[in-house]
């Protein structure tokens, strides 16, 4: 279980690094943004991140409806995916790409905060 948790945390960190890099490449119009690996690797990592999350929840037998921090993570993950799609696929203007990318990054930071504190309010309330 500990190995699975470490794997999940590693995929999460890789997802953060990849998201930051892709945003920088997009905003600087770098050809790296269009590279084949840049398009494929995030999908593989995100599948592993989600797969390890599901494996953790199943092996702990935790029901997200009974653990508000898990529900907060799932909700924030959906928002993160949506903002990522806007930033990297749908937004045309630089300003919209920047704003949606920054908003996605804030959401990702919130997910890390929830993962570490196990609290949807990050123990701030």
Q: Is 57 in the site for ligand HEM (CB under 6 A)?
A: yes
What are the residues whose beta carbons fall under 8 Å from the beta carbon of 96, sequence distance 6 or more? 86
Q: Is 56 in the site for ligand HEM (CB under 6 A)?
A: yes
**Which one, 42 or 97, has the nearer CB to ligand HEM?**
42
Q: Are 113 and 122 in contact (CB under 8 A)?
A: yes
- In 3D space, the residue among 76, 73, 70 whose CA is nearest the CA of residue 103 turns out to be 76
Tell me which residues in 91-120 interact with ligand HEM (CB under 6 A): 111-112, 115-116
Q: How many helices and strands, by DSSP H and E, does the chain display?
A: 4, 0
Q: Is 53 in the site for ligand HEM (CB under 6 A)?
A: yes
Q: Is 9 in the site for ligand HEM (CB under 6 A)?
A: yes
**Which one, 34 or 116, has the nearer CB to ligand HEM?**
116
Q: How far is CA 26 from CA 21, 54, 98, 101, 122, in A?
A: 9, 31, 9, 10, 31
Piece in contact with ligand HEM (CB under 6 A), picked from 28-36, 53-61, 83-91, 97-105: 53-61
**Which one, 41 or 77, has the nearer CB to ligand HEM?**
77
């Amino acid at each position: 279980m500990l190995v699975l948790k470490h794997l999940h945390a590693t995929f999460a960190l890789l997802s953060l690094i990849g998201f930051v890099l892709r945003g920088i490449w997009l905003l600087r119009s770098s050809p790296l943004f269009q590279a084949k690996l840049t398009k494929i690797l995030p999908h593989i990592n995100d599948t592993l991140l989600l797969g390890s999350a599901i494996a953790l929840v199943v092996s702990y037998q935790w029901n997200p409806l009974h653990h508000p921090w898990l529900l907060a993570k799932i909700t924030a993950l959906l928002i993160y995916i949506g903002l990522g799609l806007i930033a990297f696929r749908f937004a045309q203007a630089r300003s919209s790409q920047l704003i949606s990318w920054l908003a996605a990054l804030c959401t990702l930071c919130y997910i890390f905060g929830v993962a570490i504190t196990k609290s949807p309010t990050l123990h701030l309330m």
